[in-house]
Amino acid sequence: MSVSISFSKLIDRIQPTQVEIQNAVQHGKQIKTRLEQSYNLRKLFSAGSFPRQTYIHSSSDIDFFAVFARDDLRWGDNYVQSSTALDNLRRDLEARYPASTIYRDVHAIVVSFSDGVKVDVVPTTFHGMTQKNWPVYRMPDGAGGWMETSPELHAQYIKEADDKSGGKLRRTAQLMKFWRECRSPKVPLSSFHIEMLLASSRICEGPKAYAQCVTELLQLLAQRECQAFRDPLQITGNIGATRSLQQRETALRSISYSRDHAKDALHAERHGDVQEAKRQWDIVFNGQLPF
């Protein structure tokens, strides 16, 4: 079996199941019904990996943006602290799902359901439109304030880059998310950072195998030392790779280690040693590469 076939088999293995997709949709409907009762909910839509089709089997959270009327997130003429909005949302969801594990994350409230699906609910409000008529929202910034975001515009940017790559960007992002999950310890690397870096760097364009795309992304992450980069769409500000300096150091160790083995794998494959190439890739994926 060639390296390309091994990668193809791995890609097939990490696709979400139909049951996972159905459960995610059902949870979204239930949360929408609850929030319509508790808030002036303008809309609830999925964002992140799920609509961008970079979701992977049993490892990805489902992100939902809950767009509330501004009055729901304001006290008088000012917005409440985003931490207050998150706490209010957490209490409301705890009342609806008393048997589920519910907690506050940086930007969202996470609901961990018994079927294994984790749903992140991000409280937002409509802020305005871009010059090209994409909606912009205000969401928690992780420090008590609010930040601007446009998940639909970012999704379109990633989709256009994926189309130019012939679909390789989406699959490379999935491979990197699987790599992130199978390392020990897991690599605390942002999915959004991975996808936006792939889109802005154009790594996946041209006649390249997945092995080459993954290697080049690992090289780029190591070269940049997992530093945040400016949003190319000038909406979000900086797009961070990790949430803290400690996480960044942890991620860099795994990235550097895996980059070195990925480069050895490419070298072996170019010299006709397929078995050694696959052995090196199996090290990168911590024993999870199909043979």
- CATH number for the domain that contains residue 220: 1.10.1410
* Strands of the chain, DSSP E: 41-47, 62-68, 74-75, 78-79, 101-104, 109-112, 118-129, 135-140, 146-149, 229-230, 238-239
Q: What is the mean pLDDT of residues 65-77?
A: 92
- Entry pTM: 0.93
Sign for the pseudo-dihedral over CA of 99, 103, 108, 112: negative
Q: Which domain holds residue 86?
A: 18-148
Same domain, 280 and 159: yes
Same domain, 130 and 164: no
Same domain, 273 and 218: yes
End-to-end Cα distance, the chain? 7
Task: Please report whether residue 260 resides in a domain.
Answer: yes
Q: What is the mean pLDDT of residues 82-88?
A: 96
pLDDT of 76 higher than 90? no
Using pLDDT thresholds of 50, 70 and 90, give the confidence band for residue 154: very high
Task: Please report whether residue 74 resides in a domain.
Answer: yes
> How many Cβ atoms sit within 10 Å of the Cβ of residue 40?
12
Q: What is the pLDDT of residues 17-51, one digit of tens each?
A: 999 889 989 999 999 999 999 999 999 999 988 88
Same domain, 34 and 131: yes
Same domain, 22 and 143: yes
Using pLDDT thresholds of 50, 70 and 90, give the confidence band for residue 288: very high
Same domain, 110 and 217: no
Among 129, 148, 167, which residue terminates a domain? 148
- What pLDDT sits at residue 60? 66
Q: Exposed (0-12), middle (13-18) or buried (19+): which is 234, by Cβ within 10 Å?
A: exposed
Same domain, 185 and 105: no
Among 102, 127, 148, which residue terminates a domain? 148
Task: Please report whether residue 205 resides in a domain.
Answer: yes
Among 148, 166, 193, which residue terminates a domain? 148
Task: Please report whether residue 291 resides in a domain.
Answer: no
Q: What is the mean pLDDT of residues 274-290?
A: 97
Same domain, 10 and 22: no
pLDDT of 59 higher than 80? no
Structure tokens at 179: 């790599």
CB 80 within 8 A of CB 146: no
- In degrees and rounded to multiples of 5, residue 89 shows phi and psi of -65, -40
User: For residue 177, what are the contacts with CB-CB under 8 A and spacing of at least 6?
Assistant: 14, 49, 54, 56, 59, 60, 191, 194
- What pLDDT sits at residue 30? 95
Same domain, 9 and 26: no
Domain count, the chain: 2
Q: What is the pLDDT of residues 114-142, one digit of tens each?
A: 888 899 999 999 999 998 899 999 999 99
Task: Please report whether residue 289 resides in a domain.
Answer: no
**Most distant CA atoms of the chain, gap in Å:** 70
Task: Please report whether residue 290 resides in a domain.
Answer: no
CA distances from 83 to 30, 90, 105, 106, 196 (A): 24, 10, 10, 9, 27
> How many Cβ atoms sit within 10 Å of the Cβ of residue 76?
6
Mean of per-residue pLDDT scores for the chain: 95
Task: Please report whether residue 49 resides in a domain.
Answer: yes
Using pLDDT thresholds of 50, 70 and 90, give the confidence band for residue 14: very high
Same domain, 201 and 113: no
> Hunting for tokens 């205000």 — which residue is that?
138
Same domain, 77 and 195: no
Same domain, 28 and 131: yes
Q: What is the pLDDT of residues 251-270, one digit of tens each?
A: 999 999 999 999 999 999 99
| CATH assignment of the domain containing 125 | 3.30.460.10
